[in-house]
Amino acid sequence: MARRRDPGGGAGPRGRHHPRRGRDRRQAGDEEERPRDRDVPPPDPQPAGRAGDGGAGAADDPPAGAGPRPDRRPLSVLVLGRRDLERLLPPADVIGALESAFRLAAEGRARTPARTAVHTADGLLLTMPAALDTDDGGLGAKLVTVHPGNRARGRPTLHASYVLMDAGTGEPLALLEGTYLTGLRTGATSAVAARSLARADARRLVCFGAGVQAAFQLSCLAVVRPPERVAVIGRDPARAREFARAMGKRLGVAVDVAADARAAVCEADLVTCATTSATPVVFGADVAPGAHVDLVGAFRPTDREADSALIQRARVVVDTYEGALAEAGDVLIPMRDGAIDRSHLAAELAEVVTGRRPGRTGAAEVTVFKSVGWALEDLATARLAYNRARAGGLGVEVTL
């Protein structure tokens, strides 16, 4: 059973009230609060024959003094689609939520087991769980399927969804559309990094890529380093022109298609790469002193967007050491070729956010942020969306 929530209150079209679970539900009534304190005796059994409870002798009622009665209310899950997430998650707020999550991670309060992969005859299922040790809890997992054959069917090759749970009870809280969530948290993570790694006066931005992720990158980076001018580089000139037009309207600045990619990089203060290229698109010889380069497109050990010369001359920060050393061809290939070793990775992002390790150390320093994604970023973004949806009455409530 599903219904669209009434933004004006907790009751639906028929006046039916769906209680919130977890902390919200305990605050709504004190029946669950009283037995929580072991020093307070449980409530007296209800008199026999009370309407709706089957009488004091009902078979599934606990014996007198045994604790609270079973909660027979059905579970309900809040479903949040892409349009809901667009309303709930301004980039600036996601950036703030991720900075808080990275600080918690630096304190050892995040648990992110290695993702698991299940191969099928036609594709792949990936699961990415995460938990946060906080007062209000945080527990969830992203599910991603990759089916290359869908391209021939005219269907997306990748689907993603996120399941958010109550860390205290294990009850499911929400199901979120995961593709938009992933794109936004990736761009927001780059913005968190740029705040510490890009020069404060960085205004000339170059974007490799003209797809969905490139749009997220520009929208989020513009929050922390508002550009005066953006140059777009894409394989399809027509698509790049349309992308530039749309992003110029969104950002309110001049966005043009670069006639010469390498010349554009030479003039850039900040370069973001969100491509599917397996070979370098940005080269160390072209990057100006003091520039920051953001790499989010390549996520396989065999693929990279930057050449070894750039990685070798730059101060390199990664989202996590574990992820970078397992999947980031941008650092693994230079390691394999002997251009750098493990010690060349200056920090992971949580260390920079907390100040345990420095970000940029000089005005002329070239910096690189390499991201392959981290389950904690998904969890932090999903929690923000869920809490705001509950407060604002958005989403569809589904009874299980």
Binned at pLDDT 50, 70 and 90, residue 236 comes out as: very high
The CA distance from 108 to 289, in Å, is 35
Residue with token string 């989020």: 220
pTM reported for the whole predicted model = 0.81
Dihedral of alpha carbons 7, 13, 15, 21, sign:
negative
| pLDDT at 186 exceeding the cut of 90 | yes
pLDDT at 49: 40
Q: Please state the rounded mean pLDDT for residues 57-81.
A: 72
The residue ranking higher by pLDDT, 73 or 186, is: 186
| Phi–psi pair at 318, nearest 5 degrees | -120, 160
Count of helix runs (H) and strand runs (E) in the chain: 13, 17
Token pair for 255: 């966005």
pLDDT in tens, 187-231: 999 999 999 999 999 999 999 999 999 999 999 999 999 999 999
Name the superfamily (CATH) of residues 198-372.
Answer: NAD(P)-binding Rossmann-like Domain (3.40.50.720)
Binned at pLDDT 50, 70 and 90, residue 393 comes out as: very high
pLDDT in tens, 33-45: 333 343 434 444 4
Q: In the chain, what are the domain boundaries?
A: 198-372
pLDDT in tens, 89-119: 999 999 999 999 999 999 999 999 988 989 9
For residue 50, count other CB atoms closer than 10 A to its CB.
11
